[in-house]
Structure 1
């Protein structure tokens, strides 16, 4: 009855470990910043107080001014770019944006399901707490800049807290936010 059980059991465990190590789909995951920022992903000197580039694919820059944070994102994509406070595939506060035909769109959303659905805060009892500063899409580089309060008071938002805040970043291959991310990783935003 138990003949062959152990090899099958070990096979299932090995497959499970491989899936766990592989992460989310076939996407690449990055947690450490690169040592240098490629010029096309850099922001002008002095524009932000903190600038980090991840996997030579995305630069996350930010400055805290009083109770507000200004965030800049530059990514190698002609698609969408997002950051999220909270868990990667669960309850999270997601800011997602893209540039289509020169029009910059940045949405304040939440992600309350593992099904990948991003709901606009304004459609789920919350408010839009993101102010678009600007953006562009030039030569395959999407740039998004926006501000929001560290603590918005919106039940659909998570606060940036004093100290280290782990965020998830993701890059999409197209402007359709229903498209699965082509790259995902983690970063830290430190609030003084």
Structure 2
């Protein structure tokens, strides 16, 4: 029976973890990890952090957070919940659909295991959404990473944030913040 439970636990773990090669590019900080792969006209993303709260990413802000396309997610009762938001101010973001946009993200998986939140999703490089900036598959993008603390409240300010200039095709990046 113990062997059977061990095998079941292994399959559950493998079902929600990132396999080597699945995401060929990665940025790993002391607080958070962003892994990705490009596939035709979509970007596949894996975000992970030691938090029981939300993890998020923003693409190509105009200034600070303004104009960025934000994807934030958390796992609640084993269910991945994602939101698609737009930076509406220097330090503020709101739901994309309040401003004529829509949910352009496809949820793939999410888990909260041993205090680590992991979410996977894909989004189009050019969504056609009025609020989404184009994601450059061959050149540089500004990427904002952040995560919350304790609660699954997306309105609570981040406890960690970082800013990078990233070439999504080559995987080269420079930390800006």
User: Runs in 1 of length 4+ with deviation above 4 angstroms?
Assistant: none
- Gaps of at least 5 residues in structure 2 are 1-16, 170-177
Asked whether the equivalents of residues 79 and 172 of structure 1 are also in contact (C-alpha less than 8 Å), the reply is yes
How far did 1:157 drift?
0.5
Q: How do 1:106-185 residues align onto structure 2 when only pairs under 5 Å count?
A: 106-114=82-90, 116=92, 118-161=93-136, 162-173=138-149, 174-185=151-162
How far did 1:115 drift?
5.3
Q: Determine the C-alpha separation between the residues in 2 that align with 1:141 and 1:159.
A: 30
How far did 1:131 drift?
0.4
- Of 63, 69, 73, which residue of structure 2 is paired with 1:97? 73
Name the count of aligned residue pairs: 149
How far did 1:122 drift?
2.0
Matched residue, 2:28: 53
Q: Determine the C-alpha separation between the residues in 1 that align with 2:24 and 2:103.
A: 25
Asked whether the equivalents of residues 88 and 168 of structure 1 are also in contact (C-alpha less than 8 Å), the reply is no
Q: How do 1:15-30 residues align onto structure 2 when only pairs under 5 Å count?
A: none
Q: Determine the C-alpha separation between the residues in 1 that align with 2:166 and 2:47.
A: 13
Change (3 A) 1:133 1:188: farther
How far did 1:99 drift?
0.8
Asked whether the equivalents of residues 94 and 109 of structure 1 are also in contact (C-alpha less than 8 Å), the reply is yes
Provide the TM-score with structure 1 as the length reference.
0.73
How far did 1:190 drift?
1.9
Asked whether the equivalents of residues 137 and 143 of structure 1 are also in contact (C-alpha less than 8 Å), the reply is yes
What is the aligned-residue RMSD (CA, Å)? 1.5
Q: Determine the C-alpha separation between the residues in 1 that align with 2:148 and 2:108.
A: 21
Matched residue, 1:69: 43
How far did 1:89 drift?
2.9
Q: Determine the C-alpha separation between the residues in 2 that align with 1:185 and 1:175.
A: 20
Change (3 A) 1:115 1:53: closer
Q: Deviations over 1:91-141 (max 9, x none)?
A: 21111111111111111111212352x322122201211000011001110
Matched residue, 2:173: none
- Gaps of at least 5 residues in structure 1 are 1-41
- Choose 1 or 2 for highest CA Rg: 1
